[in-house]
Amino acid sequence: MSTLVIKNLHAEVDGKEILKGIDLKISEGETVAILGPNGHGKSTLLNVIMGHSKYVVTKGSIFFDDIDVLKLTTDERARLGLFLGMQNPSEIPGVINSDFLRAAVNAKSEKPISTYQFYKLLDRATKELKMPFDLATRSLNEGFSGGEKKRNEILQLMLLEPKIAMLDEIDSGLDVDAIQVVADVIREEQKKGRGFLVISHYARLFDLIQPTRAVVIVNGKVAIDGGPEYIKRIDQTGYEFIKTELGIEISKEENNMNTVSIGSCAVKESIK
């Protein structure tokens, strides 16, 4: 059984430190819910684990068993068995979804999959996800609805069979029925022993997939690493108890909004 171990992880983006010492452990077979207020580092953590070039790791380590993950490129991490289902999957014009999926399946296997085998696999996965098969023949995510994009992420999870799957707000943009479909698939994948790191703001998904642990990230650090009962508590009372009970001051999300308002000249503002 493989384990991902994150120790004292610090990471910054554009010189601004977002992760300020994350410690976290997850093994195959576990499902960990990641919670926390907006802008405190949940998505950043998943992107750093996957190796997004925008984020710079300044301190700390990530090991997958005895392999130093930070030394690997993104594609090597993927082939190691890490997967990230993205919050906003890229739309890539002209790249046919099935061509891409097949290239991805081939990337992790030693010998290329036959056309017949691949389409059998794809057919089964799209049926399970109640996805129209024609999505496979269209440009990757281009013109997909929010829900279709998210299902396409889960489709990739099914085809790639990672050891640890990270899902970043996979339920946003999904209607009630679609959440049920996605949750059914996740439950099936849990049975196969995959580990899950799941970010969501809603208890509905967690009710359906029954996490084994809950981790709350506040101010770029893990504030709580405990049982799944925290999910219900946060859903009902919010994050206030973190301040009152643990004495952790929750820093406000910085206002990064464009300060240009109607009536002022955007060009002038930008050269100030």
Partner 1 sequence: MERTIISNKMSNKFTLESSDSKFFLLYLNNYSEKVELTVSNNSNVDILILNLHDDTVVHFDVLDNAYLHVALLDHKSTKNFKISANVGLNSTFSAHFADFIVGECKGEVLVNLNKEGATCDWHLASLTEKNDKKEFDVSVYHNSPRTFAQMDNYGVCRDEGRLAFSGICQIYKGAHGSKAHQNAKIMVFDRSSHGVAKPILKIDENDIEASHAAIVGKINDEHIFYLTSRGLTEDEAKRLITLGYLKPILNGFVDDDIKKTIEDLIEGKM
Nearer to partner 1, 84 or 231 (CB): 84
Phi and psi at residue 212, to the nearest 5°:
-90, -20
Nearer to partner 1, 90 or 251 (CB): 90
The least CB distance from residue 46 to partner 1, in Å, is 10
Q: Is 203 in the site for partner 1 (CB under 8 A)?
A: no
What whole-number distance in Å separates Cα of residue 253 and Cα of residue 41? 11
C-alpha angle with apex 148: 144 to 149, nearest 5 degrees?
Answer: 75
One residue of 22, 34, 48, 78 binding partner 1 per CB under 8 A: 78
One residue of 7, 79, 130, 201 binding partner 1 per CB under 8 A: 79
One residue of 7, 25, 59, 108 binding partner 1 per CB under 8 A: 108
C-alpha angle with apex 56: 172 to 93, nearest 5 degrees?
Answer: 50
What whole-number distance in Å separates Cα of residue 102 and Cα of residue 91? 17
Question: Nearest to residue 171, comparing CAs of 203, 144, 195?
Answer: 203
One residue of 2, 3, 98, 139 binding partner 1 per CB under 8 A: 139
One residue of 2, 27, 74, 98 binding partner 1 per CB under 8 A: 74
Q: Is 104 in the site for partner 1 (CB under 8 A)?
A: yes
Question: Nearest to residue 26, comparing CAs of 157, 158, 164, 162?
Answer: 164
Q: Is 138 in the site for partner 1 (CB under 8 A)?
A: no
> What does the per-residue mask of binding to partner 1 show for 25-64, with x meaning CB under 8 A?
-------------------------xxxxx----------
Long-range contacts, 11-18 (Cβ 8 Å, 24+): 11/44, 11/48, 11/55, 11/56, 11/57, 11/58, 12/55, 12/56, 12/58, 13/44, 13/54, 13/55, 13/56, 17/58, 17/220, 18/44, 18/55, 18/220
Q: Is 137 in the site for partner 1 (CB under 8 A)?
A: no
Specify the DSSP class assigned to residue 112.
Answer: P
Q: Is 126 in the site for partner 1 (CB under 8 A)?
A: no
For partner 1, which stretch binds (CB under 8 A), given 77-85, 186-194, 245-253, 262-270? 77-85
Q: By the criterion CB under 8 A, which residues form the site for partner 1?
A: 50-54, 73-75, 77-79, 83-84, 86, 89-90, 92-96, 99-100, 103-104, 107-108, 139-140, 156, 160
